Structures are given as C-alpha cells and as structure tokens.
Amino acid sequence: MTTYRERAVILRKLDYGEADRIYTLLTAEHGKVPAIAKGVRRSASRLAAALELFAHVDVQLARGRGQLDVLTQAVRLPGARLAADPDRTAHASLIAELADRVSEDRHPIDGLYELTMLALNDLARDEDPRRASAYFLAQALEFLGYAPNLATCVVCERPLPPEAAFFSPPAGGLVCAADQVSGMLSVSVAALKVLRVAAAGDIGLYRRLKLAAALLDEVEAVLEAQVEHHLDRRLKSLAFLRRMRSPV
C-alpha cells in the first residue's frame, strides 16, 4: 500500500463503526482528502490526541482502495491553539465549513491551505475572533469567483464617491446613493475601506486596522450576504453564529 506524508488542517470528523473515525483533511499538496483513522476512538489509540478538530498536523496516509485514505500516523505541529470557548469554536467552524465547501476532493486550490491556516492561527491569537473569519470570508469569495464589486456602482458603473454606499448581492456589489433602492444594506465609508483591504489580501495592513464592533457588524453583513447568495445551500456554522448573536 502506497504511503505519503502531508501537512493538513482537520476540517471535519465523523464517527464510523464502533471505534473508527472519518476525517476531512485540507492538505498542502493534495487538496481536500477524506481519510479514516482505524481504532482511533479506543482509549489505547495513539492518534486521537493529535487529531483534534481544526488542528494543524503532520500526517502519514496510506492510499486506500476506495475513496478513503488511511491515517497511520499523526503529529500535532507547533502553533497557537484554539481556546475552547463557544464563540471562537463557532468562528473556526465557519472557516472550516467554507474551506470544505470551496474545495473538491483531491483537487488542490492554490493558496487555500495557506489561507485556512492563516485564518485559524489569527483566530487563536486575536482578541476578537470575528476579525479572522471576516478576512477568510473575503478571500474565500475571491477563490469562488464571487467577490463583490467594491470599486464602482454596479448600476451606473461610475466610481463610487467617498460616501456611504449600498450593497446588493443579486447585483454583484455596491450601488451608489443615487441608484440604491429600498432594502439594500447600507455600507459606511469605513466599512468599505475594510472590505477593500480584505479583498486585496493585504493581511499585514488588515491586522493593523482598528475594527470596532459596529464596524465589524457592517463588514460581516456584506460578506455573509454575498456568500449565502452564491452558495447552493446555507452554511450551518453561519446559522449557528447568528443564533449566538441574537439576544435572548
């Protein structure tokens, strides 16, 4: 049986049979790989400790006869670890679910593994977990080819003036005040600047931005609306986050 080593992020896990578990791995060289760890749920398993959800791992895999490869070794790689709190875990779930949806099995997308690792590392370090997930959403839209137009009005095609604009997912981007219609999301000049930095992929500048809660609310509203408009089904993690945000 052919074996290979990879660096991977664990996107999903699913219990299988009495003691096995199926993992969805986003790998550096092979893209998304479904793999099974046999006996990992037994107390004597040496793999279980490394194979935590959202972990960054060095794995050895054996090519299976079917769709699943077999996880034979796993070592947790150095790096920041995600705190076990509901808010941070929910944002990690959003990053992992979208990375899963963007990719197809064994079809690597250039830069997706690195982007996912960057987002999860920032999520573990940043005081506000929403910063990391917002950046990931903006970049994931670029991977999907669904990035909104943030430079010109999608109706009149003129450059947007330095004033509040309005967002329309069906139209594909921002609309100037003269062309906006009722029901469109309002986007402040400050939020527009953040969206442009995130879309450009300038992570150094993005990390230096001061993002107040109200500003992040605007940025999230635009990115989430764009993602949900173009996906064929809703993201479970996003629905869960919205329930968490709703006042009791």
CB 33 within 8 A of CB 105: yes
Q: What is the pTM of this model?
A: 0.93
Closest CA to 78 of 33, 121, 137: 121
* pLDDT of amino acid 245: 83
- Name the helix (H) or strand (E) containing 101: helix 86-102
pLDDT of 184 above 60: yes
Average pLDDT, the chain: 94
81 falls within a domain: no
Give the residue from 48, 76, 104 where a domain finishes: 76
130 falls within a domain: yes
| pLDDT cut 70: percent of the chain above it | 99
Give the residue from 76, 100, 115 where a domain finishes: 76
pLDDT of 89 above 90: yes
Looking up residue 51, the CATH number of its domain turns out to be 2.40.50.140
Give the residue from 19, 50, 76 where a domain finishes: 76
* pLDDT of amino acid 83: 84
Encoded tokens for 103: 């990719």
101 and 154 part of one domain: yes
61 falls within a domain: yes
Closest CA to 118 of 107, 133, 97: 133
pLDDT of 232 above 80: no
134-170: pLDDT as tens digits: 999 999 998 889 999 999 999 999 999 999 999 999 9
Exposure string over 185-199, b if 16+ CB within 10 A, otherwise e: bebeebbbebbebbb
Interacting residues of 115 by C-beta distance below 8 A, sequence separation 6+: 136, 139, 140, 143
Alpha-carbon distance of 74 to 127, in angstroms, equals 30
Interacting residues of 226 by C-beta distance below 8 A, sequence separation 6+: 141, 146, 147, 148, 169
27 and 68 part of one domain: yes
Q: List the domain range (segments joined by +) for residue 133.
A: 86-245
166 and 90 part of one domain: yes
The count of domains in the chain is 2
Alpha-carbon distance of 9 to 25, in angstroms, equals 6
52 and 126 part of one domain: no
pLDDT of 248 above 60: no
Interacting residues of 124 by C-beta distance below 8 A, sequence separation 6+: 79, 80, 81, 82, 83, 88
Reduced to 3 states (helix: H, G, I; strand: E, B; else coil), residue 152 is strand
90 and 64 part of one domain: no
pLDDT band at 247, cuts 50/70/90? low
